[in-house]
Amino acid sequence: MPLIARWPGQIPAGATGGEIVAGFDLFAPFADVGGAVVPRDRVIDGRSLLPLLKGEAGARSPHTAFFGVAGKQIQSAREGPWKIVLPAGKEKDVQLCNLDDDPGEKSDLAPSKPEIVDRLKGIVGKGRQNFQSDKALD
């Protein structure tokens, strides 16, 4: 989903970017700009997007991966253009796609990209451990 932001004097007019962020990432920069302190006594999923919004050189997404949750389990993850789907209890049914090349997720690349599957399975495994123990998912 695209994000359109306007803040004269802060966000460069006409700037575009391709970093992946989420709606929950808006809380932290709004708190920063308003002078509020982001709570530290609980998990806050969002991260500050101010460097991205302001167009700072080298600004990157504050997340290493995004997770898709169904029920109480992480069942997918996205890292850069790659998305892996690991249906709960059906680890052999893993699917991998490159969203830059295939935004409709029609082609399963898992058989031809085992190194990417293994890396993303590790990210999902770590995310599942953190998610189940109520720690931040990164």
Domain map (residue ranges) of the chain: 1-63, 66-132
Residue-level pLDDT at 136: 45
Question: By C-alpha distance, which of 42, 43, 49, 41 is closest to 23?
Answer: 49
Q: Which CATH number fits domain 66-132: 3.30.1120.10, 1.10.10.10, 2.60.40.10, 3.40.50.300?
A: 3.30.1120.10
Letter string b/e over residues 35-68, b meaning 16 or more CB atoms within 10 A of that residue's CB:
eeeeeeeeeeebbbbbebbeeeeeeebbbebbbe
Residue-level pLDDT at 61: 86
Contacts of 28 (CB under 8 A, 6+ apart): 38, 44, 46, 47, 48, 49
Residue numbers in the chain where pLDDT is lower than 50: 134-138
Residue-level pLDDT at 63: 82
- For residue 93, the 8-state DSSP code is G
